[in-house]
Amino acid sequence: MELETLKGVVPAVLATLGPQESIYCEHGIMLYKDPPVTVGRKTIQSGGVLSAAKRTAVGGIPFFLAEYTGPGSVAFSRDGLGEIRDLELAPNEVLDVAEGSLLCAENRIPYEMFYVAGTNRVGRMLGFWMDRLTGPGKLALHGYGNIISMTLGERETVTCDYGALLFKSGSVSAKSRNLPFGSGLLGKLESYEVLELTGPGKVALQSIDPKKPHT
* pTM confidence score: 0.86
Torsion of CA 188, 189, 192, 198, to 10 degrees: 30
Superfamily of the domain at 2-206? Mitochondrial biogenesis AIM24 (3.60.160.10)
- Tell me whether the omega of the peptide bond preceding residue 200 falls within 30 degrees of 0, making it cis: yes
pLDDT tens per residue across span 80-108? 999 999 999 999 999 999 988 999 999 99
pLDDT tens per residue across span 130-142? 999 999 999 999 9
Q: Could you tell me the pLDDT band of residue 215, with boundaries at 50, 70 and 90?
A: very low
Burial label, 108 (beta-carbon count in 10 A; 0-12, 13-18, 19+): middle
pLDDT tens per residue across span 4-56? 999 988 999 999 999 999 999 988 899 999 999 999 998 776 555 555 555 55
Q: Give the whole-angstrom CA distance, residue 99 versus residue 96.
A: 9
Q: Give the whole-angstrom CA distance, residue 25 versus residue 133.
A: 12
Say whether pLDDT at 149 is over 90: yes
Helix (H) or strand (E) holding 200: none
Instruction: Decide which of 37 and 118 is more confident.
Output: 37
Say whether pLDDT at 167 is over 90: yes
User: Domain locations in the chain?
Assistant: 2-206
> Largest Cα–Cα distance in the chain?
65
Would you say the C-alpha torsion 113, 117, 122, 123 has a positive or negative sign?
Answer: negative
Q: Among 146-150, 187-191, 205-209, whose mean pLDDT is lowest?
A: 187-191
Number of residues assigned to the chain: 215
| Alpha-carbon Rg for the chain in angstroms | 18
pLDDT at 36: 98
| Cβ count within 10 A of residue 141 | 27
State the amino acid at position 83 in one-letter form. Answer: E
Percent of the chain scoring above 70 in pLDDT: 82
Q: Could you tell me the pLDDT band of residue 189, with boundaries at 50, 70 and 90?
A: low
State the amino acid at position 69 in one-letter form. Answer: T
Judged by DSSP in three states, 21 sits in coil
Give the list of residues 6+ apart from residue 170 with CB closer than 8 angstroms, or none: 93, 94, 95, 96, 132, 134, 201
